[in-house]
Chains A and B, each alone.
Chain A
Amino acid sequence: MSDMIFNVEHVTLRFGGVISLNDVSLHQDRGEILAVIGPNGAGKTSLFNSLTGVYQPQEGTITFVGKNGKPLSIIGRKAYRMANAGVARTFQASRMFSAMTTFENVKIGAESHRGIGVVGAMLRGPATRRDEKHSDARTIELLKFVGLTEKANAISASLSYGDRRRLEIARGLATDPQVLLLDEPAAGTNPSEKQALVKLIRRVRDEMGVTILLIEHDMKLVMALAERIYVLNFGSVIAEGSPDEVRANPVVVEAYLGTSTEEAESK
């Protein structure tokens, strides 16, 4: 418990009268691949957006432990500040800078979390140039890591869904994150892309040492990847455990099939 990266305690998020997250508590250890699953509308993306500073829950606390080991309260922090603190993310429907090349997309990730330096940018001093070289090198490295080197100069809108995921992951990694949040990474990918994605995500954790938190519909991917799973339904955590435990949990089966196991058996 000591090496926790996320600690969510009693978080409640409401939109007017609609409760999106109801007293959710969960935690993630550093280096863990954690998955959050649940049927549509269970609050998975709300949880994600709360973790990245997009939504501000009304109750509860969310703590993120960054590089320096200092706990950081997330609620009230803007999305860009979370990104700078070391929380990178991908989006459910890939969001890229579509008129830019793959290379530029990743480069923006690599350079944006550093200081602005307008004057430096205007004058193009040696520090700026060194920075730029560093960003270029990092970008090349990351494109190689995710396997997009050949498509570095392609306009990102021309990439396949699978490649877009890779691009998003590379862009997220470019910000030097502690944790990478993946919002339904398998959506829209074909089976072979899916397999490659599983491998890539595992490599991100193993080789880059980045903790992974993913939301996913695709059970096959979750079961292949996750070390621990939380199940959300109607905004509450209904189960937690290893993939095998979760699969065997009758509450989870009910939530997914919409019937109780007894009823299902009687049919």
Chain B
Amino acid sequence: MATFVIRRLIASIFILLAATYLMYILTALSGDPLEDLRTSTAPNKAQLIESRTRLLNLDVPPFLRYFIWLAGVGKCFIGQCDLGVTVQNQPVTILLAQAAGSTLQLVTIASLVAIILGITVGITTALRQYSGYDYGVTFISFLFFSLPIFWVAVLLKQYIAIGFNDFLADPKIEYWIIPIIAVVSGLIWMSIIPRKGLQKLLTFGIAAVATAGILFYLDLSDWFSTPHIGIVGIIISSIAVAFGVTVISTGLKRRRALYAALTVAGVGIAIYYPFLYGFSLSLEAWSLALLALVTIGVSFAIGWFWGGADRLPVARTAAITGFLVAGLIALDRFMFVWNQYANSGRIKGRPIATVGSATPGLEGSLWVHGVDLFTHLLLPTIALILISFASYTRYSRASLLEVMNQDYIRTARAKGLTERTVVVRHAFRNALIPIATIVAFDIGGIIGGAVITERVFGFVGMGQLFQNGLDHVDPNPVMAFFLVTGGLAILFNLLADLVYAGLDPRIRVS
């Protein structure tokens, strides 16, 4: 194991050296870094050229200038990283830190949502193989996969930002839209829920009527300008969450688990109003995080007391329920400030943003900033999810299907285990092994950013660092970008191998 890691690391260093050298030369030879000065008519042109040449060592040919840069990188080992300066005399190390922060903010949420959504949808399509739902998802995921992101991003801005903001000026759903959405929703639910004949039709009817009812409610209650879940919504959804989590986590037969989950939901409902109008106002980001931890802890304790003989699964069920119910209440709290936010002087009734990561000069509570972050990250996140969604659904579907056909699944069924136990405990866990490697790769790619998405949405992150460097024929920022992405790619490749070996006992690293 240790020899494997060391051997891989040594090989990686050489790969990185060769790659950086190639990259440096390519960037340095891609144009003339003095071009803008050469066409300048400034009287002190010669001095300016000389000063830039000195700043960036342009008198040293790129083949050797690389080693100057490399020496600076080498200083990282003694704790003084030195990635050089840009044409504008800014230290690249500082720029890199700023860019990485901005990129992480953009891409982390997108990746998390894409992973969760992709795997969920992938698993469900595998369980309903060859259903209308399965075909529908297959079609949609390939459609998304083949869409060019720069185009999708511009369309998203046009319709979801500009179009939705226009809609908000007078938020009334057109009468003919409601039945269309209701029928589509009915079809989707009909294909997901496995029923035959008349029951199938019944599913369709219930789903369609429910959808239409919700839409009418949203329309009549002016929901789009004053969104809310409300106490009724919280009660219904909390109880639904309690049941849902119990079904997946332990099965409804474990009564104690169900009671524990319902107790947690009840506590959540109980603190809804005190939270909404009381102590939530003065919360900071760290205290909210602390509150989340406390919620999980308390819910776990409730489960533990309900638990009986085998406490852990019950406590786990309660903790998950607690987290989700708290999430719902927090979501309602964010919605609570929406109207105030959207009509404030800095937003002027057009909440969904097309550029940047925050509204300039906005000051307010944690919740206001949360909503602001949401309105800015919504579109780039959707754009990023659309591309990675496809691969996650396909891989998780294929992986689960393969596992479901294994002998040990048949054995498990033959033992008389419930379908829930077979799928969640025996199949799902093993299906996740190959997905772990894909996720590891993707996390490696996160920091590299999304050059195009960043540009279209006015995020100045790693992608911009790279692009601006190229535009100015300035190798230093390009190399900083490359060092991070290249380094992470190699690191996560290695990690993926190790994780795979750890998860799957059939594989051994040596």
Asked if chains A and B come from one complex, the reply is: no
